[in-house]
């Protein structure tokens, strides 16, 4: 007896909110941000312009973009105590552990600007999060490497600045490769938002309680970390390395089909897309271009393409409509840019921060109820308390 509510495990058939931000048609493989096809944004736009679009609903004019760029650039620095906080982590802490901890701690730095009912304070928090996320992610990497912290170089653009913070070391004059910066910007665009995925739903659920935006975003980062969600990009690279060579692909496809084996093809399948994930199509093409432009060859790309080919000819994957998702090819580009596998999910988090804060802003600006799912109780019926000496 469910009463007035329905049982929907994993919310496969439940819309938790109304939103103007991102549209997906999973059967047709369509993704649009604020009405603009992802393919057009990927081809023509920049991550920061897409960030403006997702946050405010329209593409910016030149003046609006210049002001937004100035605001974001203004906020790229983190308080020196944030670097002290990061230095307290074990040297090989996972970057996602550092990211969620440090982003949660930001509420302690800006506690006088946490009024979620004040639109100006909300906007400021959104910009701070978008601006500081790359700085924190790069600092996590530098901590692992044992390098001194790098200040954001504000003459650079968003993605260039991140690469500079990641890879500049004091003794060298590090020049950002424009091909690498463009590829990174593209990945950030493709990761920016994806309606009510697990991490965004987490941000909205936490936000529905009136919690501050840093707490909400820290919760989103934690949700993204899981291998069924954003953690899949790291898992894909580990899987491709484990498969090792093209002649092993068939064996692993068989393993993925075996219900007694926990192994699944990472980077395959999606709750909403029952057709190609349009982002995967764009990234696969970009993989070839980036490797060509950087003059690199990566046997993992051949392996990934062979895996895709064999899986998409297999009845198991065809019947279940399991296609490569956004995480399948992205790691090959990150690897070509020199980003270590353990940082992949943090890269996803940098891009997705824009989606989290856009969705949080949308929710905060409209009347909403606290999120509170129900359950189907399956435990014991009423029974009487038994004193401990009479239990056996």
270 is catalytic: yes
Instruction: Determine the interface stretch with ligand SDX among 92-100, 108-116, 229-237, 373-381 (rule: CB under 6 A).
Output: 229-237
- Which of 222, 266, 291, 337 touches ligand SDX (CB under 6 A)? 266
Instruction: Determine the interface stretch with ligand SDX among 98-106, 177-185, 223-231, 287-295 (rule: CB under 6 A).
Output: 223-231
Q: Residue 89: which of 154, 146, 44, 131 has the closest Cα?
A: 146
- Which of 22, 197, 217, 363 touches ligand SDX (CB under 6 A)? 197
Number of H helices, E strands in the chain: 17, 3
Closer to ligand SDX by CB, 20 or 175: give it: 20
DSSP 3-state assignment of 31?
strand
146's torsion region: left (phi>0), alpha (psi -120 to 50) or beta? left
Q: How far is the CB of 269 from ligand SDX (least distance, A)?
A: 2
C-alpha distance across the termini of the chain, in Å: 33
Instruction: Determine the interface stretch with ligand SDX among 172-180, 238-246, 297-305, 319-327 (rule: CB under 6 A).
Output: 319-327
**Distance between CA atoms of residues 305 and 321, nearest Å:** 17
Active-site residue (options: 94, 191, 229, 270): 270
Our measurement of the distance from residue 132's CA atom to the centroid of its chain's CA atoms, rounded to an integer in Å, reads 15
- Which of 143, 194, 204, 284 touches ligand SDX (CB under 6 A)? 194
Cβ burial of 163 (10 Å; 0-12, 13-18, 19+) is: buried
Q: Which two tokens stand for residue 259?
A: 């219900």
Q: Which two tokens stand for residue 262?
A: 């926990």
- Which of 264, 293, 294, 310 touches ligand SDX (CB under 6 A)? 264
Angle at which helices 119-145 and 213-224 pack, to 10 degrees? 50
**Distance between CA atoms of residues 37 and 26, nearest Å:** 14
327 is catalytic: yes
265 binds ligand SDX (CB under 6 A): yes
320 binds ligand SDX (CB under 6 A): yes
* Site string (8-47) toward ligand SDX, x via CB under 6 A: --x-------------------------------------
Active site residues: 270, 327
Residues that bind ligand SDX (CB under 6 A): 10, 194, 197, 228-230, 232, 256, 264-272, 320, 322, 325-327
């Amino acid at each position: 007896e469910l009463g007035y509510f329905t049982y929907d495990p994993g919310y496969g058939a439940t819309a938790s909110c109304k939103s103007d931000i991102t549209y997906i048609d999973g059967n047709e493989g369509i993704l649009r941000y604020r009405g603009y096809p992802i393919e057009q944004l990927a081809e023509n736009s920049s991550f920061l312009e897409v960030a403006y679009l997702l946050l405010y609903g329209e593409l910016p004019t030149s003046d609006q973009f210049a002001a937004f760029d100035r605001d974001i650039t203004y906020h790229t620095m983190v308080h020196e105590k944030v670097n002290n906080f990061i230095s307290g982590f074990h040297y090989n802490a996972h970057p996602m552990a550092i990211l969620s901890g440090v982003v949660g701690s930001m509420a302690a730095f800006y506690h006088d600007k946490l009024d979620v009912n004040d639109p100006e304070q909300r906007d400021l928090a959104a910009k701070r999060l978008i601006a500081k996320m790359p700085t924190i992610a790069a600092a996590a990497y530098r901590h692992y490497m044992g390098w001194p912290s790098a200040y954001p170089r504000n003459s650079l653009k968003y993605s260039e600045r991140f690469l500079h913070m990641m890879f500049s070391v004091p003794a060298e004059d590090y020049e950002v490769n424009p091909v690498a910066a463009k590829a990174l910007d593209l990945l950030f665009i493709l990761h920016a938002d994806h309606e009510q995925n697990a991490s965004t739903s987490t941000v909205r659920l936490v936000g529905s309680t009136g919690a501050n935006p840093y707490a909400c975003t820290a919760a989103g980062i934690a949700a993204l970390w899981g291998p069924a969600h954003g953690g899949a990009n790291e898992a894909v690279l580990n899987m491709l390395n484990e498969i090792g060579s093209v002649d092993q692909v068939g064996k692993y496809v068989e393993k993925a089909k075996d219900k007694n084996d926990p192994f699944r093809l990472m980077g395959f399948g999606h709750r909403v897309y029952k057709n190609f994930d349009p982002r995967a199509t764009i990234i696969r093409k970009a993989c070839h271009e980036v490797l060509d432009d950087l003059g690199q060859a990566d046997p993992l790309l051949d392996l990934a393409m062979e895996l895709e080919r064999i899986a998409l000819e297999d009845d198991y994957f065809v019947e279940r409509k399991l296609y490569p998702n956004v995480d399948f090819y992205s790691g090959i580009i990150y690897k070509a840019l020199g980003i270590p596998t353990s940082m992949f999910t943090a890269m996803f988090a940098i891009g997705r921060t824009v989606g989290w804060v856009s969705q949080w802003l949308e929710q905060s600006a409209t009347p909403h109820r606290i999120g509170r799912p129900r359950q189907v109780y399956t435990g014991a019926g009423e029974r009487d308390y038994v004193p401990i000496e009479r239990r056996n």
